[in-house]
Structure 1
């Protein structure tokens, strides 16, 4: 079966036990495994496809914990490196009453940023594989160069590249540095997922449709525009498609976008997507793919955390059936 490789950060999310207060006022936290690429890989694995993570963890207790959690989610951790040079990354999160989040990161640097291009084995990738990445680990670091090598390698095999900017400005010294990095790597992807909160920042364009169409540059063949509870829109060269969201009791939106991406990439792996057939597959199967992705994201918000909140395939299908009747 075709495989997903997710490259980037794997870290600990410390989720507050109190909602509706600023991060400085939170008294207690609960640890949860996270990191956007890891969340996507875990979703794909839980739905039944092969998923691998390319990253580096500290040789510490948090790194041990993350390896165990990834393994329990069904993710292949064979290619995860360990180091004594830095600790595993940490993110402290505060939750507003509506489940939205505020982040504070501890990584100067964290172990994931030390993964070097020499530690990326180009021979890993085969025809039909998908490489997924975000922007969090595109800060100037060895990991940025590792991304470049992995993207080149998967493309040389005819594989697909997926990019979710997943903007986290507190991780950057300057917002413009973040924007420049995203605009550098975005054209390298075949599939781009972007949220309503990120579109104007990344493109610098206020008009929504004009902004979305401006993302079709370089190798980009499809853009998925997510609106949280309001669903998602898919744009290809042949037109656009809309899919409504699902009504759930949202408790924590951490990882919802990653679960959405995982749902999409699971279907694309099953359908043997490649750069040569991506547009036609999405045009033909958009309703099925977006509905599953929306249900996946929605269910993840009903529990705390990211990987720990991911539903299994049966739960996603049950929600789709329940809200279809």
Structure 2
């Protein structure tokens, strides 16, 4: 059930990508003969979970101006997430990840980010007004890895902190 707008806003910042998961459980990526696409990226997943729990959420990040990027923004909207903070990159593609859970319980990842659009988010592309409306600013660690996204991330955190917003960090 989407939030009514009366709930405090939680802004989630970071990556949104396409996960490709094997169509058969318990195999390695190399052993898989087929993959299913699924929306991914921990901050985007958090944003989609919030309205399902009755809260109000927005997402800030960057995707490619491609089929996958458009699909991901549509998924945000379908889940009741404000997508005003999403930027589209006409040059870089949306990130892809191949992910599997092997029978021994180990996860295996293979990322395609060379660089991907989320890595190229600039401070000038941030919707600071959206951040300032939040009660909680949630973010992960992936957006802190490389520039220019790292600087954009630090600027967003600074605005959130100066505004008195609670910071929520997911180290995974």
Q: Structure 2 length normalisation: TM-score? A: 0.90
Aligned to 1:40: 46
Contact 1:113/1:142, CA 8 A, preserved across alignment: yes
Within a 5 Å distance, the mapping from 1:263-282 to structure 2 comes to none
**Of Structure 1 and Structure 2, which has the larger fraction of its residues in helix?**
1
Relative contact order (C-alpha < 8 Å, sep 6+): which is higher?
Answer: 2
Query: SS in structure 1 opposite 2:83?
Result: coil
Give the alignment partner of residue 126 of structure 2, picking from 116, 120, 128: 120
Aligned to 2:99: 93
Query: What's the CA shift for 1:23?
Result: 1.0
1:140 and 1:84 mapped to 2: Cα distance?
A: 19
Q: Which runs of 5+ in 1 are unaligned?
A: 167-325
Query: SS in structure 2 opposite 1:91?
Result: strand
Deviation digits for residues 36-95 of structure 1 (CA, Å, limit 9, x no counterpart): 000011111211111111111111110111111111111111111101120000000122
Deviation digits for residues 187-221 of structure 1 (CA, Å, limit 9, x no counterpart): xxxxxxxxxxxxxxxxxxxxxxxxxxxxxxxxxxx
Query: SS in structure 2 opposite 1:145?
Result: helix
Q: Which runs of 5+ in 2 are unaligned?
A: 1-6
Change (3 A) 1:35 1:98: same
Q: Does 1:74 align with 2:80?
A: yes
RMSD between aligned alpha carbons? 1.5
Give the structure with higher Rg (CA).
1
1:27 and 1:140 mapped to 2: Cα distance?
A: 33
Give the alignment partner of residue 132 of structure 1, picking from 127, 135, 138: 138
Contact 1:128/1:158, CA 8 A, preserved across alignment: no
2:31 and 2:74 mapped to 1: Cα distance?
A: 31
